[in-house]
């Protein structure tokens, strides 16, 4: 350490900060000991082990070989940093960056209670691939590099029947964009907390709605699900850097067209949403304080909005990522399964009322019915008994049952068709569920912070001399 070195040692544990003491010289061991004591350490004089040769030759005294070894009696500072209990993450009042990974967004949708929406990554903006996406598509989430991007002159206040929140907190753009899309889709099945949030913010102005969003503990902790301790520290550091940069710019004049500043100097990534609304295409950017109408569309809105996104990428030379929020196949398959069982029950009632229509397939044991004794099997296909019995058979099928063409042969054909249809739907549901489970498993693994484990292994290797041996071998 040089003569002009400065030591600043502090601890956040229990809110206590150790005094910061500067010093220019530590040649004198007693002075150095006093410094360390003032910083909250206990200093012990320990005798170093001398080599056998040193003892035999008596080259120097043991006291001349002893050093002041500083022993911290409190918990290790690094362990304090790595120890990250869930309640601390929940209490964290900031927002961290969210990776543009469909598995992460699907986990967030699952946590928010949105059961019939699924995110999937778009690898190509080719019209053929967009047309092949699972329908309906509720919106797009677009991630792009925002630093230096000019702020549009076409920003307008959102229509009165559009839900839109301004972004008031750094790094919250992913959740802001997600909610700006979901809140404008009547077909989306939302969880109770999200429905309540929408009701509470319905009459708020944009900035108040955005501030209310940023202060919502449930939304914030859900957004921060994948955060690690170092992510929180990085977010705090980013906020500090932004504050310092803002202070530097206070006395500088502004000129020319406004350009968006980077939210994070290292990444400068930003999320916006795209939706159809009242026959128009809209870009929803929480940082704009308004929305951009991209014009009317006809036919498939998803194919109509892609050229606007492509143009933005090409004109600005952006690196970008696109996610589609589409209908979750599990939800539609569940509905089809419930309708299938309702048709089956209606056919059984018809057969019971008219024994001449007896079907040989009636007693098929592989079929799951919407009866209480099949409640456990219903759960395996994502249905409760109450949900199953609440679905009525389609009117077209009921008319078919009451028609004059209903003969024993027709009844047998209808029964076999329903059994085969359910078998196929159950396979579809299993495939969709497996895909969803893979996303949830990947997201849960991402929630696990392995940093303490890695640190523990490295420390053990260091204490065993393995790291030193590796360094010497290079």
Query: Which residues form the catalytic set?
Result: 173, 270
Integer Cα distance of 347 and 367 in angstroms: 14
Integer Cα distance of 305 and 295 in angstroms: 9
Which residues, in sequence order, are CB contacts of 144 under 8 Å at separation 6+?
Answer: 269, 270, 272, 312, 313, 316, 318, 319, 320, 321
Query: Among candidates 177, 199, 191, 184, which has minimal Cα distance to 111?
Result: 191
Residue 253 in tokens? 């004049």
Q: Which residue has the tokens 């489970």?
A: 437
Query: What DSSP state is assigned to residue 224?
Result: G
Query: What DSSP state is assigned to residue 124?
Result: -
CA 142-306-317 angle, 5° bins: 60
What b-and-e string marks burial along 162-192, b requiring 16 or more CB atoms within 10 Å of the CB? bbbbbbbbbbbbbbbbbbbbbbbbeebebbe
Residue 268 in tokens? 């400068």
Residues 213-218: contacts with CB under 8 Å, at least 24 apart = 213/165, 213/168, 213/172, 213/175, 213/176, 213/179, 214/95, 214/168, 214/169, 214/172, 217/90, 218/193
Are 286 and 176 contacting, i.e. CB atoms less than 8 angstroms apart?
yes
Q: How many other C-beta atoms lie within 10 A of the C-beta of residue 121?
A: 13
């Amino acid at each position: 350490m040089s003569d002009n070195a400065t030591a600043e040692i502090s601890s956040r544990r229990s809110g206590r900060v150790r005094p910061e003491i500067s010093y220019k010289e530590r040649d004198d061991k007693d002075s150095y000991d006093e410094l360390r004591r003032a910083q909250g350490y206990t200093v012990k004089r320990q005798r170093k082990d001398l080599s056998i040769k040193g003892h035999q030759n008596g080259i120097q005294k043991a006291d001349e070989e002893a050093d002041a070894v500083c022993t911290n009696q409190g918990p290790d500072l690094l362990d304090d940093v790595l120890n990250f209990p869930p309640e601390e993450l929940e209490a964290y009042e900031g927002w961290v960056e969210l990776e543009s990974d469909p598995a992460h967004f699907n986990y967030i949708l699952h946590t928010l209670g949105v059961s019939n929406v699924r995110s999937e990554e778009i690898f190509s903006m080719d019209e053929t691939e967009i047309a092949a996406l699972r329908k309906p598509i509720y919106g797009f989430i677009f991630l792009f590099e925002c630093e230096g991007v000019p702020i549009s002159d076409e920003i307008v206040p959102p229509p009165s029947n559009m839900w839109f929140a301004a972004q008031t907190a750094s790094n919250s753009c992913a959740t802001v964009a997600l909610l700006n899309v979901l809140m404008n889709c009547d077909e989306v099945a939302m969880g109770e907390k999200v429905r309540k949030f929408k009701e509470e913010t319905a009459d708020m102005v944009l900035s108040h709605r955005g501030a209310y969003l940023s202060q919502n503990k449930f939304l914030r902790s859900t957004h921060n699900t994948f955060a690690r301790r170092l992510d929180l520290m990085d977010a705090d550091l980013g906020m500090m850097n932004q504050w310092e940069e803002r202070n530097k710019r206070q006395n500088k004049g502004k000129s020319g067209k406004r350009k968006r500043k980077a939210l994070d100097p290292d990444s400068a990534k930003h999320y916006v949403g795209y939706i159809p609304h009242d026959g128009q295409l809209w870009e929803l950017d929480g940082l704009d304080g308004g929305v951009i109408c991209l014009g009317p569309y006809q036919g498939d809105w998803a194919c109509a909005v892609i050229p606007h996104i492509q143009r933005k990428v090409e004109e600005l030379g952006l690196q970008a990522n696109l996610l589609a929020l589409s209908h979750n196949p599990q939800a539609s398959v569940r509905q089809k399964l419930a309708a299938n069982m309702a048709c089956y029950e209606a056919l059984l009632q018809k057969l019971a009322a008219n024994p001449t229509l007896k079907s040989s397939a009636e007693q098929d044991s592989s079929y799951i019915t919407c009866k209480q004794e099949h409640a456990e099997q219903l759960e395996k296909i994502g249905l409760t008994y109450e949900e199953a019995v609440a679905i009525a058979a389609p009117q077209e099928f009921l008319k078919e049952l009451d028609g004059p063409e209903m003969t024993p042969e027709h009844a047998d054909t209808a029964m076999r068709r329903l059994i085969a249809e359910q078998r196929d739907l159950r396979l579809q549901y299993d495939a969709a569920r497996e895909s969803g489970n893979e996303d949830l498993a990947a997201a849960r693994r991402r929630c696990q912070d392995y940093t303490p484990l890695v640190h523990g292994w490295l420390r053990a290797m260091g204490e065993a001399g393995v790291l030193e041996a590796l360094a010497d071998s290079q």
